A and B are shown apart, each in its own frame.
Chain A
Amino acid sequence: MSALLGWGFVAAMAALPLVMPDPYLLAVLTSAGIFIIGAISLNLLLGYTGQLSLGHAAFFGLGAYASALTSLGFDIGIGFGHRLRLEPQPVAVGFLAAILVSGCFGWLLGRLAFRIRGAYFVIITICFAQVLRMVALNWVELTQGPMALVGIPPFALWLPGRGVVELYAKNQTYWLVLGVAVLAFLVVRQIVHSRIGRALVALRENETLARSVGIRVTHYLVIATVVSAAIAGAAGSLFAHYVRIVDPDVFLFIYTVTMVIMVITGGKGTLWGPVVGGLIFGPLPDMLRGSAPPEAQWIAYGLAMILLVMFLPRGIVPAVAGWLPARRAAAPLPAPAPSPVQGGAG
């Protein structure tokens, strides 16, 4: 998709609250936007490194907890009679803390997990999210456990002439999420089009070959994980201050699945894939809410996933790009072909 078209899309989305100030629509799009940011970050791992990371909710949840706890403050015992205290901080500090904490855990998981590939990697990432969920459930002193963290302050921004403004209004949060989404998109695009991105694609396509020409595989994989985790943490922070309640369920596999579906529907390994997939699956839960029980929604998600893998394995964006031969020159990077690295069976 050309840059002009992209910026046109962003401008249209930015103008939407002015044209249609319907709070319901904006709320739906805001929560969809938060998950689109998560999907954009997941795409870096799933699409460009070819690693099926199924613990992405871990980074999302870490970001949510880090941001909420920083802005609420905490006071916990750390053993031997010492206590760790933090006074409530401004929300912007919480946002940065979310990025930092998630990034650090991304580094940890990256170092740990990229010694292994294929099925083992998938399972270690799922377990990572599960362990964090158990910690969030049981470390009641810090996280309030299943009682959840409540009363999280809304986002606050410093605006010229008006000082620090708390963003309660739907359209303000909407613009904030849109802004972060655009930033996340640009960061990922920058990485993909840089030396790092080319290294990632090289090792996705053929790891042995990439290694043989001197690409430091683990090094680049860890960079990609850290960036991906940090962006997911930012999305988690937005989620925490938008919903204003965080419970251990943010680590549920379901959230990872939501992001995975967005990425593969739109097209993994394409910059616009997560956005397109997110605009389809993001508002779906809200649209179905009135007419069907939540189980029906998840059944629909599951069936969609199966049908996509069977009939549109590369996703919508590459398929559409293929139908428009004139645009082919501007088409995104080709979707990953089943390669020995990914296939990973032998």
Chain B
Amino acid sequence: MQQALQHLVNGTILGGTYALLGIGLTLIFGVMRVVNFTHGELYAFGAYMAYGLVALLRLDFYLSLLLATLLGTALGAAIELLLLRPLRRADIDSVMLAMIGAALVLQNANMWAWGGVAKLVPSPFAGTPLVFGPVSVMPLRLFVLGISCALLVGFWLLLERTRAGIAMRATFQDAETASLMGVRVGWVSTATFAIGSGLAAAAGALLGPVFMVSPTMGDLVGLKAFAIVILGGLGNLPGAVIGGFALGYVEEFGGGFLSTEYRDAFGFLLIILVLAVRPQGLVALKERVG
């Protein structure tokens, strides 16, 4: 029971960052109909930027996280303008191939720039865990959870309460009608891709001090982001948050009680299972894609 409580806490913390990853990916799919294979690489980019700023440039930890997120946002905007905008009229498969190409470039650029050795982002938090009765948690992880939740709430406010958010949601529902209503769909796409990428980079920068940063980590994380999004249904925002926490719990409990070695495989098995049984996702009511 105590062990279960501990796993619940760990799963929640992991789930928060997974939700950040998932929400960016699902927003990009919903607004732009783009299957974003670079998402995991932006996560890696965020983590490496955090490492570079904290460990090499010796900037303030919190400032570095913010800068890493902003740099990720900028990179996302650049990808949208240079790659996706010219391919606006191409079919979904061609865009997928181009995005895979972009992911290859980003991943190997990381490998080239930083080398293959895993790095750890130094953090100012104490190394001793806080103990709350039966569970203990590292202060750093609590900070990660707090920031993830703050970003999720901030993102929700952006979507619900601002003009840009309304334009985004309108494009999400029906791009053509939105453009007839005067929404500049092109810029909404750029903003969406930039924000989604920024969220991925933020997740990477937040987890950089928790886990090791390595050049190929984007692969696994990218696939996990897909797992999260599929759990909730592609293009479903609340679904992505639920999917993020669901994957966090599945990994944490599966890793704790079933098998540590297959921890990372649970997510993929879950996707295959979900797609075989309920292709539209666990929470989505929308019809399947394609």
Interface residues of A (CB under 8 A from B): 50, 52, 54, 112-113, 115-124, 126-128, 130-131, 134-135, 137-138, 253, 257, 260, 264, 293, 295-296, 298-299, 301-306, 308-310, 313, 338-339, 341-345
**CB-CB contacts of B8-24 with A at 8 A, as 1s and 0s?**
00000000000000000
Select which of A113, A128, A296, A343 is within 8 A of B91 by beta carbon. Answer: A343
Select which of B94, B111, B230 is within 8 A of A120 by beta carbon. Answer: B230
CB pair B275 A116 closer than 8 Å: yes
Top 6 closest pairs, chain A to chain B, by CB: A118-B290, A344-B290, A305-B101, A302-B104, A117-B290, A338-B91
19 A-B pairs with CB atoms under 8 Å apart are A112-B275, A116-B275, A117-B290, A118-B92, A119-B234, A119-B290, A124-B275, A134-B264, A138-B259, A295-B108, A299-B105, A299-B112, A302-B102, A302-B105, A309-B87, A309-B94, A341-B290, A343-B93, A344-B289
> Which residues on the B side are within 8 Å of A127 (C-beta)?
223, 226-227, 268, 271-272
| Chain A proximity of B221: nearest CB distance (Å) | 12
> Which residues on the A side are within 8 Å of B102 (C-beta)?
302, 306
Q: Given A253-B219, A295-B109, A310-B87, does the pair A123, B94 have CB atoms closer than 8 Å?
A: no
Instruction: Give Cα A36–Cα B261 distance, bound, in whole angstroms.
Output: 34
CB pair B101 A138 closer than 8 Å: no
> Which residues on the A side are within 8 Å of B275 (C-beta)?
112-113, 116, 120, 123-124
Select which of B101, B107, B112, B279 is within 8 A of A309 by beta carbon. Answer: B101
CB pair B92 A119 closer than 8 Å: yes
**CB-CB contacts of B66-82 with A at 8 A, as 1s and 0s?**
00000000000000000
Tell me whether B97 is interfacial, beta carbon within 8 Å: yes
Within 8 A of A (CB), among B206-250: 219, 223, 226-227, 230, 234
Instruction: Give the residue among A112, A298, A302 with the most B Cβ atoms within 10 A.
Output: A302
- Further contacts, 14 of them, CB under 8 A, given A296-B108, A299-B105, A339-B91: A52-B93, A117-B288, A117-B289, A119-B92, A119-B96, A120-B230, A120-B275, A120-B289, A120-B290, A123-B223, A134-B262, A295-B109, A302-B102, A310-B87
CB pair B83 A306 closer than 8 Å: yes
Q: Which residue of A lies closest to B103 (CB)?
A: A302
| Chain A proximity of B269: nearest CB distance (Å) | 6
Instruction: Give Cα A310–Cα B219 distance, bound, in whole angstroms.
Output: 24
Instruction: Give Cα A135–Cα B272 distance, bound, in whole angstroms.
Output: 15
CB pair B271 A345 closer than 8 Å: no
Within 8 A of A (CB), among B272-290: 272, 275-276, 279, 288-290
CB pair B271 A124 closer than 8 Å: yes
Q: How many residues of B contact A (CB 8 A)?
A: 47
Q: Which residue of B lies closest to A145 (CB)?
A: B261
| Chain B proximity of A35: nearest CB distance (Å) | 16
Instruction: Give Cα A130–Cα B219 distance, bound, in whole angstroms.
Output: 10
CB pair B101 A120 closer than 8 Å: no
Interface residues of B (CB under 8 A from A): 29, 33, 35, 83, 86-87, 90-98, 100-105, 107-109, 111-112, 219, 223, 226-227, 230, 234, 259, 261-262, 264-265, 268-269, 271-272, 275-276, 279, 288-290
> Which residues on the A side are within 8 Å of B29 (C-beta)?
119
Q: Which residue of A lies closest to B265 (CB)?
A: A134
Instruction: Give Cα A126–Cα B223 distance, bound, in whole angstroms.
Output: 8
Q: Which residue of A lies closest to B91 (CB)?
A: A338
CB pair B234 A120 closer than 8 Å: yes
| Chain B proximity of A336: nearest CB distance (Å) | 9
Instruction: Give the residue among B95, B104, B112 with the most A Cβ atoms within 10 A.
Output: B104
Select which of B86, B223, B234 is within 8 A of A310 by beta carbon. Answer: B86
Q: Which residue of B lies closest to A293 (CB)?
A: B112
Select which of A118, A128, A301, A341 is within 8 A of B272 by beta carbon. Answer: A128
Instruction: Give Cα A269–Cα B262 distance, bound, in whole angstroms.
Output: 38
Instruction: Give Cα A295–Cα B216 distance, bound, in whole angstroms.
Output: 12
CB pair A304 B108 closer than 8 Å: no
Q: Given A260-B97, A295-B112, does the pair A119, B35 have CB atoms closer than 8 Å?
A: yes
Instruction: Give Cα A260–Cα B100 distance, bound, in whole angstroms.
Output: 10
Instruction: Give the residue among B100, B105, B112, B262 with the most A Cβ atoms within 10 A.
Output: B100
Q: Which residue of B lies closest to A129 (CB)?
A: B268
Select which of B92, B101, B227, B279 is within 8 A of A116 by beta carbon. Answer: B279
> Which residues on the B side are within 8 Å of A341 (C-beta)?
290
| Chain B proximity of A240: nearest CB distance (Å) | 23
CB pair A344 B104 closer than 8 Å: no
